[in-house]
Structure 1
Amino acid sequence: MTEFPIIHTNVWDAVWAIPVIMIVIIVLKVLLSISCKHIPVSATVIGMFISIFICHPQNLSAGIFMGFFYSAAAIGTFASLKTTFQAYRS
C-alpha cells in the first residue's frame, strides 16, 4: 500500500492565487464576454496553471490537488460577491 503524497503548501500561495484568479476571470469576462457557464471552467484552468507552474512546479500531484482548491475558492468567492452585489442593488 502506498502512502499519500505529502503536500507542502504555503498559506500565502492561496492568499495571492485566489484574487489573481478572480481578477483574470473578471478581465476575461469584460474583454472576451465569456458567458456565466464558462466561468468555472476558466477559473479551473487558471487555477491549475498557477498551481502547477508557479506554486508547485516540483510536484505534479500537489499542483493538481491544490489547483482544484484554488479554483474552487475563487469560484465560490466570485459567486458570493456577485450574489451580494445583486442583493445590494435590489
Structure 2
Amino acid sequence: MDFPTIHTNFWDAVIAIPVIMIITQLLKIFLHIPSKFVPTIALALGLIISVFISHRHNLLAGIFMGWFYGYAAIGNYAALKTTIINFRKKNKSS
C-alpha cells in the first residue's frame, strides 16, 4: 500500500487551525457546550474541514491532515490558555 502524498500549504498553517479555534470557542459561548467536549468538537471540525475543503480529492489525506488540524488547534488553545494564566499570576504577585 502506498501512502498518499500530502502537501502542507498556506491553508494548513495559517488558516485552518485558527478557524477551528475560533469556531470551537464560538460554539462554546453561544451553544453553552461544556469545556470537556470542546477537544472532541475541535477534532471533528478538523476532520470536516480537511476532508470536505482542503483535501477533498483524497480521503486518506483528508483524514490524516484532519487529525493534525484538530489536535494542533487543541494544543494551541492549551498553550495559549496556560500562557495567559501564568502571565496573570506573575503580574498579580509582582
Common topology (TM > 0.5): yes
Q: How far apart are the structure 1 equivalents of 2:85 and 2:41?
A: 22
Look up the match of 2:92.
none
Deviates more, 1:30-39 or 1:15-24: 30-39
Look up the match of 1:88.
87
Look up the match of 1:28.
27
| TM-score scaled by length of structure 1 | 0.90
- Letter of the aligned partner of 1:31 in structure 2? F
Q: How far apart are the structure 1 equivalents of 2:19 and 2:3?
A: 29
Following TM superposition, the consecutive aligned residue runs of length 4 or more in structure 1 with deviations greater than 6 angstroms are none
**Would you say 1:44 and 2:43 are equivalent positions?**
yes
**Would you say 1:13 and 2:11 are equivalent positions?**
yes
Q: How far apart are the structure 2 equivalents of 1:50 and 1:37?
A: 21
How far does the alpha carbon of each residue in 1:23-81 deviate from its partner, in whole angstroms, 9 at most, with x for none? 00110111112122111100011101110111011000000000000111100000111
Deviation at 1:87, TM superposition (A): 1.7
Percent identity among equivalent residues?
53
Deviates more, 1:67-76 or 1:78-87: 78-87
| TM-score scaled by length of structure 2 | 0.86
Q: CA RMSD in A?
A: 1.1
Q: How far apart are the structure 1 equivalents of 2:82 and 2:11?
A: 26
Q: List runs of 5+ in structure 2 lacking aligned partners.
A: 90-94
